[in-house]
Amino acid sequence: MKNFFKMLTVSALGGILTLGGYIFFFEHQEVPGDSGTVQMPTIIPSNYESATVEAAENIDFTIIAEKSIHAVVHVKNLSTTNSRTNPLMEFFYGQSGGSERQVVGSGSGVIISADGYIVTNNHVIKGARRLEVTLNNKESYEAEVVGADESTDIALLKINTSDLPYLAFGDSDHLSVGEWVLAVGNPFNLTSTVTAGIVSAKARDINIMNNNKVIESFIQTDAAVNPGNSGGALVNTRGNLIGINTAISSQTGSYIGYSFAVPSNIAKKVIEDILEFGNVQRAYLGINYEELNSEKASEFGVGRTEGVLITRVLEQGAAKEAGLMVNDIIIKMDNVKIANFSDLQGFLGSKRPGDKVNITVLRNEASKVLPVKLKNQFGKYKFENRDFSDYFIGELEPIKRSDENKYNIDHGVKIVDLKNEAIERTYGVGNGDIILMVEDQKVHNSEEVDQLLKKHQNKEYFELQILTKSGKMGYIRVRSD
């Protein structure tokens, strides 16, 4: 009898534990993408599930497509341009003599949080006077630009609503060539269009901007992408966002088999920087390099055709501090293989100053792993006041009342100690000259100059309006590298 009661007690306890476990693990489990129960996350949602290899016939694209189309929006860029159709009016009244014409540009965007944050391409929203976002259910909202980065062609928008379906970021570093993907967007104003393809290549540099400030490490796919798809989603078979569709390679302007997307790890880092810092924090290694191939390997006498060969280690850079040396060949950063500079550039594009990474190099044919703490372009772990103005111009001070009276101006900063010898040689600018505007914006102190230079750091040059000591006014260009 006692044994019976013991067995009964144990059975009851087991049932209670089983029931409690069921309630905890199942009744409280959230359904991914269920907008009705999603709360605003404190960080950008990510979902780094392990990759699984499946044959195409075993993948149900319908579920992924249904999830994705509701998180992809149509972005309309409403801007204006002067239509100068009357040469006589233009002669007498200048450019303003023409009529103003409204121009409507079209692209796509991806909802990345339930409360209305949307990622798209910078070129989709550039120059907009007004942005209109239309959801898949036809509801439209006016959008504001939270921030944008020209170097990666990524922009972050915000619409004022909540409980939206969204896509979580996947890990683009672990994307495999040959893996199935979907491209979701609004080509030719055809809303909610889904195409399928495979990853054709990674870390593609297509020199789309012809600018060494631009980070190009694209995912190449053969999923059909056309004008209007820009800013749309590239989604893996687990329904995670692994790229932002950005460009096509075509002589006709339409898809001919090649499309390119910004990797999700780069896009995610950019928008997190915008939200946290207001601008993008770019990480630098502090080296000059050569990308290896058969010709370069022969020229430098190395027995390897893949990797990045260090030709110079810059003083005060991260590489110098970590002990990297000239003739080291970078072959891996953390667990990411580095076969060319696009691989390295793409990896650094997902990092910020202060991040620690492990770099694997070949030195005298032996493999060596070096821990590196990345820095910014000024050899620092974080930006300080006047870093940009000190480096690109020099020491500045607000103009005095005597300057205002002498030149009849109410704004500007005076150059006290010019450090940029290039603008002195090229333009004759020197101490005592006054900077009136940076990128067509008036400045009153060195802090404003610094903020504008930081904001436009990814351009090839900064444009300054200068008032010389002799009273002459003009514009100069200062290279940003």
What whole-number distance in Å separates Cα of residue 327 and Cα of residue 290?
10
The CA distances from residue 147 to 22, 153, 277, 279, 455, in Å, are 44, 11, 10, 7, 10
| CA 380 from centroid of its chain's CA atoms | 21
Spatial contact of 205 and 245, defined as CB atoms under 8 Å apart: no
* Residues shown for the chain: 481
Q: Which of 305, 349, 313, 356 is nearest to 331 (CA)?
A: 305
Identify the H or E element spanning 88.
helix 87-93
- State both tokens at 51: 């990759």
Q: To 5 degrees, how large is the angle CA 425–CA 427–CA 433?
A: 105
Helix axes 341-349, 264-277, angle to 10 degrees: 40
Query: CB count, 10 Å around CB of 190?
Result: 12
Q: For 159-180, give the secondary structure using H, E and C.
A: CCCCCCCCCCECCHHHCCCCCE
What whole-number distance in Å separates Cα of residue 61 and Cα of residue 238?
10
- State both tokens at 450: 């610094």
Residue 153 among the catalytic residues:
yes
What whole-number distance in Å separates Cα of residue 197 and Cα of residue 245?
13
What whole-number distance in Å separates Cα of residue 140 and Cα of residue 74?
9
What whole-number distance in Å separates Cα of residue 350 and Cα of residue 203?
13
Q: Which of 70, 74, 123, 456 is catalytic?
A: 123
- State both tokens at 154: 């990524």
Going by the DSSP 8-state scheme, the letter that residue 25 receives in this structure is I
Spatial contact of 378 and 442, defined as CB atoms under 8 Å apart: no
- State both tokens at 203: 């870390």
Q: Which of 113, 230, 342, 446 is catalytic?
A: 230
Spatial contact of 365 and 276, defined as CB atoms under 8 Å apart: no
- Active-site residues: which are they? 123, 153, 230
